[in-house]
Homo-oligomer: A and B are copies of this chain.
Amino acid sequence: MTIIEPRVLKGFRDFPPAAEIGRRGLIEKIEASFRSFGFAPIDTPALEYAEILLGKGGGETEKQVYRFTDNGGRDVALRFDLTVPFARFIAGHRAEITLPFKRYHIAKVWRGENTQRGRYREFTQCDVDIVGSNSPASDFEILLVMRETLKAIGAGDVAIHLNHRGLFNRFLAALGLLDKSVDILRLVDKSAKVGRDAVVERLSVIAGDKAEKILQFIEAKGGFEDVLARLTELSGGSSPESERLAALRTYMLQNVSDGADAFTLDPSITRGLDYYTGIVYETFLNDMPEIGSICSGGRYDNLAGLYSKESVSGVGTSIGLDRLIAALEALGRLEQRASYARVAVSCLKEADAGAYQTIAGRFRDAGIACEVFFTEEKLTKQYMTAEKKGMQWLIVPSLDNPLRGKLTLRNLAARETSDPLSVEEAVLRLKAALEV
């Protein structure tokens, strides 16, 4: 018979146990953080009508989407983000939802991207959004969720750079350049990549002698209050946008537990051509800023406009799990183990396998994950197997009477065997040793 090569598609990955245990541990911590703020999970289909996902159509997105005709002749596509399905969800479930609605969604998305830049075609997003509140208090909550979640997973301190797109537009309007805001935003968003000189040159084409003024705006640097004062002045004085930023600053200072240092007002952050209309932000790890923003988002005016006449505004953020994993791996902060079990019951007689499972069940009931070895082998060989599997303890039952006789505990690292113990004593001993 011909053997089929067991390959996976380019840009797609298997996660063997050691990688998947680290990945799942990370997701569980992120979920716990989202839940602690009162966000509730939703799930939506991986496959949707292409019309729903691509609504406005055209552009880069469409080229990258996995789109096809199903067996029923429907034009369908795999989701390429979690925001579009969320917008469709809000419109479709509006009657059941009480606003403000706080949801999280952690799931895979698919894009047929160029894989050369270390990008994947299947990757995981962790999205959190608050819809139906326009309060700056909800903007602030999203900023806090980002900071606290990244702290909870051991990513260390973060620098959250935020800006207000409405304030930038107000500034452009004051210069008479509002109709060119899309081109200008696109340029500003690329400034980190192409360098200042190139930006000046291209800005001059669009904005003439106002190019320098635009650069003054996006290059404003310093403490939050100083930058805010400068942007307020450049945009023609106090406005709802500058006042919202001032309110956020007040909240930061009230949130004394960690100080307000994590937050920088950075007018160069624009989030390109995204659908954001209010505050926008990007988040960098202080221990590895070079990996780029690992969590970004902003406020949008009308999320579900494609699917509903009702306007629902919101604010949200998305953690790119794969970039975060790459960073944590490089920092040596990702859990690395191939099993959850650190304890196993050895096999002295294969005929007693049921009794060994009974013993293991007592440890499992006490919250200790416990394997059972299946094969009758020399005990020294079983010590080695257990160590190779990353186990810390091997339970050695009574040879003659596994169910009622005493057992011993082998500490694999210390190479020590305990005195004979009852199962109850052994459970207590391991609970203490493993801090279960």
Which A residues are closer than 8 A to B by beta carbons?
1, 3-10, 12-17, 20-21, 23-24, 35-38, 40-49, 51-52, 55, 63-64, 66, 68-72, 74, 76, 78, 88-89, 91-93, 96-98, 100, 102-103, 108, 110, 112, 122, 133, 135-138, 140-141, 144, 148, 247, 250-257, 304-309, 338-341, 344, 347, 350-358, 360-361, 364, 368-372, 374-375, 388-389, 402-403
Contacts and interface: CB of A to CB of B under 8 A. Distances in A.
A66 B47 contact: yes
- 6 A-B pairs closest in CB distance: A254-B354, A251-B354, A38-B371, A68-B68, A137-B353, A17-B40
A383 to B, nearest CB: 15
Contact of A47 (B9, B41, B91, B103): B9
Given A14-B42, A133-B375, 13 more contacts: A6-B88, A7-B49, A7-B92, A9-B45, A15-B42, A40-B338, A40-B339, A40-B340, A66-B70, A71-B112, A137-B374, A137-B375, A148-B364
Contacts of A307: 3-6
Contact of A9 (B49, B93, B135): B49
B71 A68 contact: no
A96 B6 CA distance: 14
Given A133-B375, A140-B353, A309 B344 contact: no
A36 B6 contact: no
Nearest to A249: B354
Contact of A110 (B46, B112, B135, B344): B46
Contacts of A339: 38, 40
Contact of A357 (B76, B141, B355): B141
Contacts of A148: 361, 364
Given A8-B45, A122-B46, A354-B252, A370 B38 contact: yes
B44 A14 contact: yes
Contacts of A110: 46-47
Most B CB contacts (10 A, CB to CB) among A3, A133, A252 go to A3
A1 B106 CA distance: 31
Main secondary structure of the interface of A (DSSP, over half): mixed
Nearest to A108: B46
Contacts of A78: 46-47
Contact of A42 (B3, B20, B347, B368): B20
Contacts of A91: 6
A358 B255 contact: yes
27 contacts: A3-B308, A6-B52, A6-B91, A6-B308, A7-B92, A14-B44, A17-B40, A20-B43, A36-B364, A37-B341, A37-B370, A37-B371, A38-B370, A47-B122, A66-B70, A72-B112, A133-B375, A137-B347, A137-B353, A247-B353, A250-B351, A253-B354, A254-B355, A255-B355, A255-B357, A257-B358, A257-B361
Contact of A16 (B66, B93, B353, B372): B93
B112 A247 contact: no
Contacts of A97: 16
A336 to B, nearest CB: 13
